[in-house]
Structure 1
Amino acid sequence: MSANCPLCNTSGGVPVAQSANWRVIRATEDANFPAFYRLIWTAHVAEFSDLSDAERHECMDAVTRIERELRAALQPTKINLATLGNVVPHLHWHVIARFDWDSHFPNPVWGTARREVPGGAESRLALPLAALDARIASALQQRDS
């Protein structure tokens, strides 16, 4: 844990699921991307290669389960995966459902917007966010079964 790290000191978003080694949150800072999730590693490490082999497998298994559930629930045009850490050097994976109608597509979510989404992006999703969160949490709990 680092005293100055926002991912050590805050939840980072809406809590969805957690294990001893990671937590998954739904990011809320940009309403243009309501199906934007993060897997945040519990220990304060900066790089994926800081993890042991078993930890890397556990981390990517969880990221894969999130991706699969987003694909099954929403049928997005694409899933974006990213681990940057340039601003917050605490290992976390972005898992973002992207749609050809979203405000930035095909640009990255951090790029320039190309259009407005009438009625808001959340209204275009196939199910409410709370239901999507529950589906992701369930998929992550099944990892040990």
Structure 2
Amino acid sequence: MLTPADSCPLCQETAGALVLQAERYRIVRVMDTELPGFCRVIWQQHVAEMSDLPPVDRRALMAVVFAVELALRDCYQPDKINLASFGNVVPHLHWHIICRWRDDPWFPEPIWGQRQRQGNVSSATITDAVLAARIAHYLASGVHA
């Protein structure tokens, strides 16, 4: 008998360029040239909702999300960071951490909304290793808590 995890793309695939992986989560960079720095934090266990996690795991997951946000702010210096957790299409707990600029193609709309302009894309080139080191720094320092 198939389980939801058997057909879940976030259970079966990396879902982007792997930046950092731990026992309970992985961080991937979404490979979209118009959205530099766009990352996902994916909970390894197949659960659909934050409230499905025990409180200690909820706190751990959010600490990772905050550490990624801080690292992206350091590395890309965006005008804004968007955080989103939908799971409407793929019911597997994951968070989107998205760098936004006032002149990006969708601003001020969400990236899933209507394009507003051609837009300028940040020219920052940050390697996955540099990003992983910044995330690890924030996780270790406890600044995110």
Q: TM-score range by the shorter chain?
A: 0.7 to 0.9
Give the superposition deviation at 1:134: 2.2
For 1:141 and 1:114, the matched residues in 2 are separated by 35
- Dislocated runs of 4+, deviation >4 Å: none
Instruction: Give yes or no for contact 1:104–1:112 (8 Å, CA) kept in 2.
Output: yes
- 2:103 aligns to what SS in structure 1? coil
Give the superposition deviation at 1:96: 0.3
| From 6, 11, 14, the counterpart of 1:8 | 11
Give the superposition deviation at 1:144: 4.2
Residue 141, structure 1, aligned to residue 126, structure 2: no
Q: CA distance change for structure 1 residues 75 and 5 in 2, over 3 Å: closer, same or farther?
A: same
Instruction: Give yes or no for contact 1:74–1:125 (8 Å, CA) kept in 2.
Output: no
Instruction: Give yes or no for contact 1:98–1:105 (8 Å, CA) kept in 2.
Output: yes
Aligned residue pairs, count: 137
**1:129 counterpart residue number:** 126
For 1:140 and 1:35, the matched residues in 2 are separated by 12
Instruction: Give yes or no for contact 1:22–1:41 (8 Å, CA) kept in 2.
Output: yes
Runs of at least 5 residues in structure 1 that lack an aligned partner in the other structure = none
Opposite residue 45 of structure 1, the aligned amino acid is V
Give the superposition deviation at 1:5: 0.3
Q: What whole-Å deviation, never above 9, does each CA across 1:18-70 have from its counterpart, x for those lacking one?
A: 11000000012x33212110000000000011111111111111100110111
For 2:25 and 2:102, the matched residues in 1 are separated by 31
For 1:17 and 1:94, the matched residues in 2 are separated by 15
What's the TM-score, normalizing by structure 2?
A: 0.87
For 1:71 and 1:129, the matched residues in 2 are separated by 12
Runs of at least 5 residues in structure 2 that lack an aligned partner in the other structure = none
**48-57 or 91-100: which moved more?**
48-57
For 2:47 and 2:130, the matched residues in 1 are separated by 28
For 1:96 and 1:32, the matched residues in 2 are separated by 11
Opposite residue 14 of structure 1, the aligned amino acid is A
Identical amino acids, percent of aligned pairs: 43
